[in-house]
Amino acid sequence: MRDVVTSSEHDPSLKGSEKMTMDENHRILIVDDDAAVREAYREILAPTERNYLSDGDRLFGGGEAKNRSLPYGIWEAKNGDEAVTLVQEATDRGKPFALAFVDMKMPGMNGAETAREIWRIDPGIKIVIVTAYSDVTPDEIVQVTAREDLFYLRKPFNPQEIRQFARALCRQRNLEQERDVLSLGLRNANLALEDMNRNLEEKVKQQAEMLIQSEKMASLGILVAGVAHEINNPLSFIKANLSSLRNYAFNMVALLEKYEVLTASVAERCGEHGAVQTRDIHDFRQLKKIDFILRDLPDLVAQSLEGADRIEAIIHDLRSFSRMDDNARCMVNINESMDTAVNIIRNQIKGRVEIVRDYGELPAVSCFPQKLIQAVMNILINAAHAVDDAGVIRITTRQVEKTPGNPGTVRIEITDTGCGMPEKDVAKIFDPFFTTKPVGRGMGLGLYITYEIIRAHGGTLSVDSCEGAGSTFTVTLPAEKEIPAS
């Protein structure tokens, strides 16, 4: 059994300034197989209140102690195994020793081996090897411990030497611990600062990208307005000419019908000569497919006029979208805005995606038309990209939550039959720069900008998606909500 471990830290006889402060580490471990030596250490470092010489002073020939420092917390072990156990227990409790005085000659592990094992548990503890005589040199001790920061004390020692070692080494251990705490705090502060800088850089990058996007949209609006104007001029006379051609075609058909009657009459009256001329006309008519042309010409003109009307509608939508009215709020028919958005992106879905429109009766909504159409376009483009080969995009509009005196809200649902998204992506779909598209097919800003536009209108935007089962984007807008000009 090892000796009873004692500590003046918990000695109720200590009073006032004699008790060590808990802020500093003054815990000392004495490792010696001689009980009298351990008692001497305790009397030197944690003396009882006496006015005569301590046992340590008498044992080692020292004079009366003067200017003694505050007593230390003392733990004792009579061999290396007990010392290692005490160090492990103290470390586990978060109350490590500051200093250990270790006798070199002990049963079992010697002082050097004990120091090595102690340092394996607590590399920061200060160790003083105490020896009266030894065949082991300091270099050999260093070789055993693999550490050069050992201190040596020869027996018989002076109590003042013990106190000096205790003061200096405990102070050094405390300074090192304080340095470690400060270093950790500085490292954490640096990490926090780096994280703050990264967040700031990301914010700046986001704002820059949004500014670039805004400039692109403004430039695109000017370009689209100019192109729409230039296309509209030739389209006007194309439509006028097609209308005239339709009238001409009707007249030409009527004239050819009269010629056919005349040809039959000539053949009857002019005999053989008339029959030859009639056959020549008939052969030419067959060769040039005049009958097919006469039947097809009205349809060609009608289809051309329909195409011109569609071009005119697209130009109208483009010009409406490109109007420089970002600061102008007006009452808008949401269903018409849906049609405009569909017409603008039609080239991205033509022949691949079917648009199904299920519109309800809606009240007018006060909004910024261009921004709202841009938001819907972004959702539609995202839905179209989610459809690989062929699919359906359904647009549903409804007035919901209507009560007497309260127009409620307008809800827009855009559902696609595309690939859908895993749950982990749904949570991040509106984050800036997040995208599931391949490199080069998107910056990850479309849905983020859409989210910000809808939020600026006092509305909400949400998504419900399941991988392999399509997605539904739901937009809600307050009906007749007054939106402050931005």
The torsion of the CA quartet 437, 438, 440, 443, rounded to 10 degrees, works out to: 30
Q: Measured in whole angstroms, how far is the alpha carbon of residue 179 from the centre of its chain?
A: 35
Which one of 259, 290, 324 terminates a domain?
A: 324
Specify whether 378 is located in the same domain as 312: no
- Expressed as residue numbers, the domain containing 431 is 327-486
In a domain, 174, yes or no: no
Q: Which residue has the tokens 């070199």?
A: 104
- CA-CA-CA-CA torsion sign (341, 343, 348, 352): positive
SS3 state of residue 390? coil
Q: Encoding tokens for residue 360?
A: 């309800």
Query: Are 375 and 466 contained in the same domain?
Result: yes
Across the strands, what pairs with 102?
Answer: 31, 129
78-95: burial string, b at 16+ Cβ within 10 Å, e else: bbbbbbbebbeebbeeee
Query: In angstroms, what CA-CA distances link 238 with 226, 304, 309?
Result: 19, 9, 11
Number of domains observed in the structure of the chain? 3
Domain final residue, candidates 324, 340, 359 = 324
Strand 409-416 and strand 471-478: the pairing is antiparallel
Among 469, 429, 471, which residue's Cα sits nearest to residue 450?
429
281 and 354 in a single domain? The answer is no
CATH number reported for the structural domain that contains residue 460 in this entry: 3.30.565.10
**Same domain, yes or no, for 342 and 485?**
yes
Separation between Cα atoms, residue 458 and residue 481, nearest integer Å:
8
Does some domain include residue 170?
Answer: no
* Measured distance CA(78)–CA(61) in Å, rounded: 23
**Under DSSP, is residue 484 helix (H, G, I), strand (E, B) or coil?**
coil
Task: With respect to residue 191, please indicate whether it lies within any of the assigned structural domains.
Answer: no
In this structure, the number of other CB atoms found within 10 A of the CB of residue 478 comes to 20
Q: Tens place of pLDDT for every residue, the chain, 486 residues?
A: 334 444 444 343 333 333 344 457 889 999 999 898 999 888 888 876 444 444 444 444 444 434 444 568 899 999 999 999 999 999 999 899 999 999 988 989 988 899 999 999 999 899 998 887 666 677 777 777 778 778 888 877 788 888 888 888 888 888 888 888 888 888 888 888 888 887 787 777 766 666 665 555 555 555 565 566 667 667 776 777 777 777 777 777 777 777 777 777 776 677 666 677 777 777 777 887 777 877 777 788 888 877 777 777 767 666 665 554 455 678 888 898 888 888 877 766 767 788 899 999 888 888 888 788 888 888 888 888 888 778 889 999 998 877 777 778 899 999 988 888 888 787 777 776 666 655 444 445 667 778 888 888 888 988 888 888 888 999 999 886 544 444
Q: Please tell me the distance from the alpha carbon of residue 453 to that of residue 473, in angstroms, as a whole number.
A: 14
* pLDDT computed for residue 262 by the predictor: 75
**CB-count burial class (<10 Å; 0-12, 13-18, 19+) for 126:** buried
Amino acid at 382: N
Flag whether 187 is in a domain: no
Tokens of 76: 């004792």
> Does 248 lie in the same domain as 358?
no
Residue found by looking up tokens 């030419």 in the block: 284
pLDDT of residue 327: 53
By C-alpha distance, which of 43, 45, 37 is closest to 72?
45
Separate counts of helices (H) and strands (E) for the chain:
13, 12
| 334 belongs to a structural domain | yes
165 is a domain residue: no
Question: Are 250 and 389 part of one and the same domain?
Answer: no
Q: Are residues 107 and 143 in the same domain?
A: yes
Domain stop point among 324, 353, 373 = 324
What the block records as the tokens of 55 is 């046992």
**Cα–Cα distances in Å, from 24 out to 70, 182, 216, 294, 430?**
12, 15, 64, 109, 52
Residue of 166, 123, 165, 157 whose CA lies nearest to 24: 166
- Residue 414 and residue 394 in contact, taking contact as beta carbons nearer than 8 Å: yes
One domain, residues 283 and 366 = no
Residue keyed to tokens 């586990």: 92
Q: What is the pLDDT of residue 154?
A: 82
Residue 177, domain member (yes or no) = no
Tell me: do 464 and 343 sit in the same domain.
yes
15: CATH: 3.40.50.2300
Q: For residues 275 and 379, state if they share a domain.
A: no
Compute the distance between CA of residue 369 and CA of residue 334 in angstroms, rounded to an integer.
9
- Report yes or no on 252 lying in a domain: yes
Q: Supply the pLDDT for residue 10.
A: 39
Cβ count near 307 (within 10 Å): 13
Looking at the structure, do residues 148 and 222 belong to the same domain, yes or no? no
Same domain, 302 and 372: no
